[in-house]
Amino acid sequence: MSDEKMEKTDDTGQIIRRLLDYMAGGDVRARFVAATFLRVIAILGLIFIPYFTGQAINVIGDPNGTLEELQQWVIYAVIAAGVFLLFSLLAERIFADLATKALAKLQNHLFSHMQDLSLNFFDRQPIGELLSRVSNDTEVISLFYEQGVSPIIRSSIQILLILVIMLIADWRLTLVALIVVPFMLIAALVIERVSSPAFASLQEDLGTLSGFQEETLSGHKVIISKRRQEWAAEQNKQQAQGVFDLGSKAYFNSLLQYPLTLSLSTFQIVFVMVAGGLMVIEGITTLGLVTAFAGYAALLASPLSTIANLTSTTLSAVAGGRRVFSIIDEEVQIKDAPDAADYEFRGGQIEFKDVDFSYVPGRKILRSNSFIAEPGQAIGICGPTGAGKSTIINILTRYYETDSGDILIDGQNLRQLTQTSLRRQIGVVLQEAFLFTDSVMNNLKYAREGATDEDAIEAAKNANAHEFITNLPQGYDTVLTERGANLSQGQRQMITIARAMVSDPKIMILDEATSNVDTRTEKLIQEGLRHLMEGKTSFSIAHRLATIRDSAEIMVVNGGEIEEMAPHDELMAARGFYYSLYMSQFKGKAPAGADAGSASFVST
C-alpha cells in the first residue's frame, strides 16, 4: 500500500468523528444524547425478552410450575417487546431529524465556505470536480447519516448490553459465545484496509468523470461544430467503465464482510447450543438459561451483521467526507486585516506603487508596475494577449493578493480596506456576460441589495436595454435560461451594463466589454457605457484600440510591465509600442515591421 493510501486509511477515524460532529455536536448534542438514551431503554427491553422466555421455559419444564407463573413471564415478555417498540420509534424519529439537519449543515458549511475562497482556488479546481464534491460526495455522506449512524449506534449499544447480561448470567457460556468474535474483528480489519483506499479512489474518479461531463455539456456547441460527438461519447464510456470497475471492486470487497459475519454468527449460535446442551445434561445449568443464551447469541449476531453490512456505506462516506473536508479546510487567502477599515470614497484616485504579482510563486506576471489614475479619469489598457492586462484589474479588485508593492485608492492602502466596502464601489463588466437563471428584473436587482424595480428600469434605459427587454415575452419578468442563452450576446451585455449601473459604483472596470458584438450593437453598448462611466474613474481593457482611443490615458502593457502611458495622440507621436499595435491593427502592418521599430510582443 502506498504512503498516500496508508495516510488516507489512517485518518478514517478522524473523518468519521468530523462527520458525526455535524449530527451530534454543538446545539444538537442534547437531542443526540436524548435519542441515544431512548435507544438504551429500547435495547434493554429487547434483551429482556430472551430472559423472560427462558424463565417461561423453566416453568414449563418444572413439574411444580403453574399456569399463572407462565402467564406472568409471557406478560413480562410482551411488555418488554412493547418497550422496545415504543422507545425505538421515539429514538428513530429524533435520529432521522438529526440526520437530515446534519446533511443540511454540512452542505451549507461547504457552500458558504466556497463563497469565501479566493479566485486562485477556483483556478485550480475544475467546476465539474467541485460540483461532484457538492453533489456526489455529499450524497454518500447523506446515506451514512440516514442509514448508517442510527443502526451503528443501536448495534453498538446492543452488543455492549448483551455482553454485560451474558456475563452476569453465565460466564462460561459467554466465553463460548465469544469464540468467533476475534475472527469477526480480523475479517473487518482486513476488509477495511482493502476497501477504504478503493472507495477513496472511486470518489476521485467520480469527480473526474463529472468534470468531463460538465465540460463536455458546457462546450456542446464546439463538440457539435467539430463533429466530435462520437469521441465525447467514447471518452465518457471509457471513464464511466473505469468508475464501474473500481466501484465493483470496492463494493465487492466491503460486501464480503456481511456473509463472513453471518456465517461466523451462525457458528456462534451452534457453539452455544452444543455447549449449553452438554451443561444441561451434566446438571450445571437449566434448559431455560441455555434457551435464553441462544436468544442472546442471535441478538449478538444481528448487530454484528448490521455493522458488517454498513461497511460499504461508512467507507463511502469517509471517502466523500475526505474530499468535502479538503475544501472546508482550504485556507481563505484573501482576508481582511484585523484593523481593516471601510473604504471612504474621496474622488476615486488610484495609484500603483512598484507592484509585483505572480499567480504561481516564482513566476512573475507583473513586474514593478507604477501609475496614477486621477479621479474621474478614463484609462484604456491595451497590449498583446497574455501581457497582464486582466491581471492588473484582478489585483485592483483584490481578487488576488500582490507579491509586493502598494495599491492606494484615494490614499487608502488596499490591504487595509474591507473587501465588502471596496467591491461595493467597484463595478465590473466582463467580456463574457454572465446572467442567472431568473427573471430579467431579478438579474438587474442582483447588483445591489435593496434595489427597486424603478432603479432597474432606469438603469436599463440608460444602458439602451429597455426597448428590447419590453419586447420580450414577459418583459422584465421574462425568465432567462442558463447564462441568458435565450438572449443574443449583445442583449446579455446590455443587461450586465444595466446591472452595473444599478450598483452605482464609483469606479468602473470594463474587460473587453464589446468584443463579441456587431458594430450596430457595439454603438448602443458604447453609448450605455458612456452613461455608466460618466464622472467615474474607469479602466477599459480592449484589443480593438478604437474603443479606447478617446481615453484620457492609454496604458500599454507588455510582458507584465507598463511600457507606455499617455493619451492616444502622444503615444502615436512617440512611435513606440502603442504605435506598433495601432499600425498592425489598422494598416495591416506587422508589429515588427518597418513602421514598428524594434517593438516585440511578450506574453507572461
Ranges of each domain in the chain:
3-328, 336-425+507-513+536-604, 431-504
Residue 358 grid cell: 505572480
Burial 162-197 (b: 16+ CB within 10 A, else e): bbebbeebbeebbebbbebbeebeebbeebbebbbb
pLDDT of residue 523: 74
User: Of 507, 511, 601, whose CA–CA distance to 556 is shortest?
Assistant: 601
Scanning 515-604, the segments in alpha helix (DSSP H) are 519-533, 568-574, 577-586
Confidence of residue 5 (pLDDT cuts 50, 70, 90): very low
Q: Which class is 3-328 in CATH?
A: mainly alpha
Q: Is the CB of residue 584 less than 8 Å from the CB of residue 590? A: yes
The owner of cell 423453566 is: 58
Fold of 431-504: Rossmann fold (3.40.50)
Q: Please name the helix (run of DSSP H) or strand (run of DSSP E) that holds residue 382, with its range, or none.
A: strand 378-382
pLDDT higher than 50, residue 595:
no
User: Of 154, 155, 166, whose CA–CA distance to 188 is shortest?
Assistant: 155
Highest mean pLDDT, choosing among 190-194, 250-254, 280-284: 280-284
**Helix 29-61 vs helix 287-309: angle between axes, to the nearest 10 degrees?**
150
pLDDT of residue 8: 45
Share of the chain above pLDDT 70, in %: 83
CA distance 282 to 285: 8
CA distance 355 to 501: 30
User: Torsion angle, CA of 569/575/581/587, rounded to 10 degrees?
Assistant: 90
Of 85 and 594, the structure prediction assigns the larger pLDDT to 85
pLDDT of residue 520: 67
Share of the chain above pLDDT 90, in %: 19
pLDDT higher than 60, residue 207:
yes
pLDDT of residue 213: 67
Of 258 and 440, the structure prediction assigns the larger pLDDT to 440
pLDDT higher than 80, residue 563:
yes
Determine the Cα angle at 560 with ends 562 and 424, to 5°.
80
How many Å is the Cα radius of gyration of the chain? 35
Confidence of residue 199 (pLDDT cuts 50, 70, 90): low
**Range with lowest mean pLDDT among 40-49, 255-264, 311-320:** 255-264
pLDDT higher than 80, residue 2:
no
Confidence of residue 594 (pLDDT cuts 50, 70, 90): very low
* pTM to 2 decimal places: 0.70
CA distance 378 to 464: 21
Q: Which class is 336-425+507-513+536-604 in CATH?
A: alpha beta
CA distance 23 to 25: 6
Confidence of residue 500 (pLDDT cuts 50, 70, 90): confident
Do the first three CATH levels of 3-328 and 336-425+507-513+536-604 match, i.e. the same topology?
no
Of 544 and 76, the structure prediction assigns the larger pLDDT to 76
- Classified as helix, coil or strand, 171 is helix
Q: Report the chain's terminal Cα–Cα distance, integer Å.
A: 41
pLDDT of residue 64: 73
pLDDT higher than 50, residue 7:
no
- Using one digit for the tens of pLDDT, what is the confidence trace for 366-422? 999 999 999 989 999 998 888 888 889 888 988 888 999 999 999 999 999 998 888
- Using one digit for the tens of pLDDT, what is the confidence trace for 268-295? 777 777 777 777 777 777 777 777 777 7
pLDDT of residue 217: 65
Confidence of residue 597 (pLDDT cuts 50, 70, 90): very low
pLDDT of residue 196: 63
**How are beta strands 366-373 and 412-413 bridged, if at all?**
unpaired
Of 305 and 456, the structure prediction assigns the larger pLDDT to 456
Of 591 and 54, the structure prediction assigns the larger pLDDT to 54
**How are beta strands 378-382 and 553-558 bridged, if at all?**
parallel
